């Protein structure tokens, strides 16, 4: 987007669904499916990497449906422990557990006549999956600590950033629940598969963050646009959004230039400051191999355990950081029991 590129929005008729950006073939398929499924009451399963806009599509399905005037309730299943998530979804009665001082309405009740969006459904435990299956099949449940059955008219939209068939194969997700959720699957393509939409997305975020920060940055240097379109975007649209906001805040003039973008986007190695908190697993392994002679000297029988423990500690540290400290989510990604993860966090001094 050099200076003659003012705004992608001015050259396009606008996105097929208001509030959503992108007009390439990949997104056209998403828009078409979204409109088709919105008219029904079918369950929807949104699949895609983190940051691809699954919540935006969930809201669009709700808004375009006959339930659009009803409530839209979002629940991040990966952010809460099992007992808290069960209470969050289904509510509880007074005295059901320590701290339950009053009756509480759950999210399914709150979404009656509307839509409940279960984000990161892959993070739920086997016990909770049984209860979710019943809601999908029978439209009824009991609050935690209660025997009274509550019936609800709630549409379910679920989202996962992991392959649920792989989760089923690993024994972490119920096959019957998967088929109940997967009535209409919608795949959200990563940004690297829809590079043609990057100019429109950049233009949109320039407008949004220019307004919120009282800045006017309507132009994008051609070199900057080329770098943005060449980058792999592991964080998808959310990562692009953050980089554009930063550029708007730091821009000395009315143009987003290449030097305002992070080193990784410019094709340079990011500068690391301070002590290394987590290491690349290949680097750790290589370092330990180099130390092998010394390690194998006095106690050769300890070499294997030393290598395994060091690599395992680094792996757990990286996954916990990626999951922002949420143990339920980290355990699911690692493919281990949450209690096992908790013991290893204590063993390696990673509780914090």
The answer to whether 119 touches 54, Cβ cutoff 8 Å, is yes
> Are 67 and 183 within one domain?
yes
Coil, helix or strand for 99? coil
Residue 328: pLDDT band by 50, 70, 90 thresholds?
confident
Tell me the CATH number at 289: 1.10.10.60
pLDDT digits over 32-62, tens only?
999 999 999 999 999 999 999 999 999 999 9
Give the pLDDT confidence score for residue 293 in this predicted structure. 44
Which DSSP symbol is given to 299? -
pLDDT of residue 166: 93
Q: Is 1 domain-assigned? A: no
Claim to verify: residue 261 and residue 293 sit in the same structural domain:
no
pLDDT band at 275; cut points 50, 70, 90: low
Is 222 among the domain residues?
A: yes
DSSP tag of 77: T
Judged against a pLDDT cut of 80, whether residue 151 lies above it is answered with yes
- pLDDT given for residue 6 in this prediction: 42
- Confidence category of residue 340, pLDDT binned at 50, 70, 90: confident
Find the CATH number of the domain harbouring 61. 3.40.50.300
Q: What is the pLDDT of residue 116?
A: 97
DSSP state letters, 8-21? GGGGS---SSTT--
Classify residue 352: in a domain, yes or no: no
Please tell me the predicted confidence (pLDDT) of residue 107: 94
Rounded to the nearest 10 degrees, what angle do helices 126-138 and 82-90 cross at? 20
Query: How many CB atoms sit inside 10 A of residue 22's CB?
Result: 25
Same domain (yes/no): 106, 144: yes
The answer as to whether 274 is a domain residue is no
Coil, strand, or helix at residue 138?
A: helix
The total number of structural domains in the chain stands at: 3
Give the predicted TM-score (pTM) of the model: 0.73
Domain boundary among 138, 155, 190: 190
Do 202 and 186 lie in a common domain?
no
Q: Tally DSSP H helices, then E strands, for the chain.
A: 16, 9
Task: For residue 237, give the CATH number of its domain.
Answer: 1.10.8.60
Average pLDDT value for residue range 332-345: 78
In a domain, 122, yes or no: yes
Strand partners, 73: 116
Domain boundary at 235, 266, 297, which?
266
Residues 178 and 158 in one domain: yes
Q: How confident is the model at residue 241 (pLDDT cuts 50, 70, 90)?
A: very high
* pLDDT at residue number 13: 40
Rg, Å, the chain Cα set: 24
Based on the domain organization, do 116 and 37 belong to the same domain? Answer: yes
pLDDT score at 95 = 72
pLDDT band at 19 (very low <50, low <70, confident <90, very high): confident
Residue 16 lies in a domain: no
Domain boundary among 190, 224, 244: 190
Q: Do 304 and 341 fall within a single domain? A: yes
46 or 94, which is more confident: 46
Q: Same domain for 244 and 291?
A: no
The answer to the question of residue 341 being in a domain is: yes
In a domain, 4, yes or no: no
Domain that holds residue 221: 194-266
pLDDT value, residue 156: 97
Query: How high is the pLDDT of residue 343?
Result: 79
Query: What phi, psi does 151 have (nearest 5°)?
Result: -105, 140
Indicate the average pLDDT of the chain. 85
| Residue 291 and residue 211 share a domain | no
In a shared domain, residues 172 and 201: no
Kindly give the interhelix angle for 327-334 and 338-347, rounded to the nearest 10 degrees.
100
In this structure, the answer to whether residues 55 and 120 fall within a common structural domain is yes
CB 35 within 8 A of CB 147: no
- Answer yes or no: are the C-beta atoms of 271 and 263 closer than 8 Å: yes
CA distances from 326 to 199, 209, 265, 310 (A): 35, 30, 29, 22
Number of CB atoms found within 10 A of residue 270's CB: 10
Is 30 in the same domain as 58? yes
CB environment 222-249: b (16+ within 10 A), e (fewer): eebbebbbebebebbbebbbebbbebbe
Please indicate whether residue 292 or residue 306 has the higher confidence score (pLDDT): 306
220 has which bridge partners? 256
pLDDT digits (tens, 9 = 90+) for 98-121: 777 788 889 999 999 999 999 999
């Amino acid at each position: 987007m050099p200076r003659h590129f003012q705004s992608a929005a001015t050259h396009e008729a606008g996105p097929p669904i208001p509030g959503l950006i992108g007009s390439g073939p990949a997104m056209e398929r998403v828009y078409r499916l979204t409109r088709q499924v919105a008219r029904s009451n079918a369950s929807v399963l949104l699949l895609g990497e983190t940051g691809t806009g699954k919540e935006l599509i969930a809201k669009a399905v709700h808004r375009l449906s006959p339930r659009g005037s009803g409530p839209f309730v979002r629940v991040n299943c990966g952010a809460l422990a099992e007992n808290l998530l069960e209470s969050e979804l289904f509510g509880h009665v007074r005295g059901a557990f320590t701290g339950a001082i009053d009756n509480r309405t759950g999210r399914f009740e709150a979404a009656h006549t509307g839509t409940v969006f279960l984000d990161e459904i892959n993070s739920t435990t086997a016990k909770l999956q049984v209860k979710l299956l019943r809601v999908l099949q029978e439209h009824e449940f009991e609050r935690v600590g209660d025997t009274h059955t509550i019936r609800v008219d709630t549409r379910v939209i679920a989202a996962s950033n992991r392959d649920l068939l792989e989760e089923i194969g690993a024994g972490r997700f119920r096959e019957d629940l998967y088929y109940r959720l997967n009535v209409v699957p919608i795949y959200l393509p990563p940004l690297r598969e829809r590079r043609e939409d990057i100019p429109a997305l950049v233009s949109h975020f320039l407008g949004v963050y220019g307004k919120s920060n009282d800045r006017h940055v309507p132009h994008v240097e051609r070199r900057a646009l080329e770098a943005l379109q060449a980058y792999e975007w592991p964080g998808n649209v959310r990562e692009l959004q953050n980089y554009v906001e930063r550029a708007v805040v730091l821009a000395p003039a009315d143009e987003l230039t290449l030097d305002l973008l992070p080193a990784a986007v410019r094709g340079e190695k990011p500068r690391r400051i301070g002590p290394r908190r987590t290491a690349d697993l290949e680097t750790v392994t290589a370092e330990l191999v180099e130390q092998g002679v010394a390690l194998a000297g006095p106690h050769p029988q300890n070499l294997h355990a030393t290598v395994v423990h060091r690599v395992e500690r680094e792996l757990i540290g990286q996954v916990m950081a990626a999951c922002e400290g949420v143990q339920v989510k980290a355990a699911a990604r690692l493919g281990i029991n949450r209690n096992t993860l908790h013991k290893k966090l204590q063993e390696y001094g990673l509780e914090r």
